[in-house]
Chain A
């Protein structure tokens, strides 16, 4: 079942000043985390990003993920304190064809003389609201033991 994104999250993706981070792992499980400004939603509610460097570790890790069904994670941090994590799986690497050409032209209009190695499509499988007050409230309810007693003292 596909994930439905909240209006807030959709807007967060669209905002220019949102920090967007992609975390992947290589074949040995070594993590690799990078900022990907191009992370956005497509019309199918999937995440896409533009990979400009074919030899990048992220690109290699994404190939590894699509080959071996390994998850990746995206973090979004807004200027208003919004913080989300989205776990997902790469499902497509667009490297040629009409859609690729459209993206290629678009990215070069935006960034100048850059190349485009692939447009990666990530199917979201879980969205986690990472705002501290939300996570803190969840922990209070689910794990009442997870606290230092001095905080409860009279």
Chain B
């Protein structure tokens, strides 16, 4: 599995994709390609990082493309307010270049300046520690407008060697523990204190998101994961005057009984059980733990049933777009992959479940390391297709949009 840095001859260039899909905003095209190819920060660009003002990377649930955790900017923001969550990438993989030129931070490609960008601003709570002595930046990571809690960074599917093939969560956890002394499992008190401080910053955050690795333990499968989320969400909720607050849980597909408990006992407003790949055959190969403990069809059924609890437009799922083309068992053809994925996404949308995507990054700590993600055109067509489905079935994506999340080119399109 070797890295292929240059586009294949049949793959359209950025400008060719822009010309072929004039209905796709150029700024989002750039975002998508920045996520697809990654970025490389020049020395000049890094010299402009001010740790007092800017947010440095390090607390992500997933690792970087170059295997280095810290001391680089967390991510970028474009002039239309679009967040670009992307990872520093070795030069030999042909990333975009982030440089500082003529007093401005810019994205370059092939020596051509494409856009001015900004680094993310560090939230105030990153300067604080909890009463138990943990840096609050290790309790909750921040996006420009979202507080991101990763209560447990361990995925129990990895215990039986059944982690998702694109995922590096446990390998990243090991690195974070050794290099950053990051706590693998958060205590509710630390969470409550961190959220309290985060909410003191006016105008900073619009949503709270929780995600963890799966935990199948408990009286019923995944009860342990559910119990822990409830505990953490209650700690978060201590800081709100309202019973419900803008929030999202990205988790395993739970049973109706488990979801009713979560909804009833916490302030959670939306639910995102990530199915990762919208194809039963590939799901069983790429997500063996999810396939064994829940199964593809049951995962879908549970998502549909969750709509009755959380409401239309508040249940969605995320796919790791491009992984359906992974070798050796993925689709050989992007047209066929797109058709299959959108057909499944429509089946879900017709039942009230929306689909968003993240661009697959073949991370070095994952089983599928070294492979190549899909073409830029594929990601454009997928984004347009998913957004069209949301419009067709009148599904809101407010809880996972450009502002509440910022990691899905398709839901960025919902801004207009």
Contacts and interface: CB of A to CB of B under 8 A. Distances in A.
Interface in B38-96: 53, 77, 79-81
Interface residues of A, number: 26
Nearest to B415: A63
A91 to B, nearest CB: 7
Given A68-B25, A94-B81, A27 B416 contact: yes
Contacts of A97: 77, 118, 121, 144
B403 interface: yes
B243 interface: no
Interface stretch (A9-17, A39-47, A98-106, A130-138): A98-106
A67 B82 CA distance: 11
B28 interface: yes
A60 to B, nearest CB: 5
A97 B205 CA distance: 11
Contacts of A95: 81, 144-145, 403
Nearest to A119: B81
B121 A98 contact: yes
A63 B80 contact: yes
Interface in A90-120: 91-98, 100-101, 103-105, 108, 116, 118
Contacts of A52: none
B81 A93 contact: yes
B204 interface: yes
Contacts of B381: none
Contacts of B27: 66-67
B201 interface: yes
B111 interface: no
Contacts of A118: 81
A103 B53 CA distance: 18
Interface string B94-127: 0000000000000000000000001011000000
A116 B201 CA distance: 14
25 contacts: A54-B403, A61-B416, A63-B80, A64-B416, A66-B80, A67-B27, A67-B28, A67-B80, A67-B416, A91-B79, A93-B80, A94-B81, A96-B120, A96-B144, A96-B145, A96-B204, A97-B77, A97-B118, A97-B121, A98-B121, A100-B203, A101-B204, A103-B203, A104-B202, A118-B81
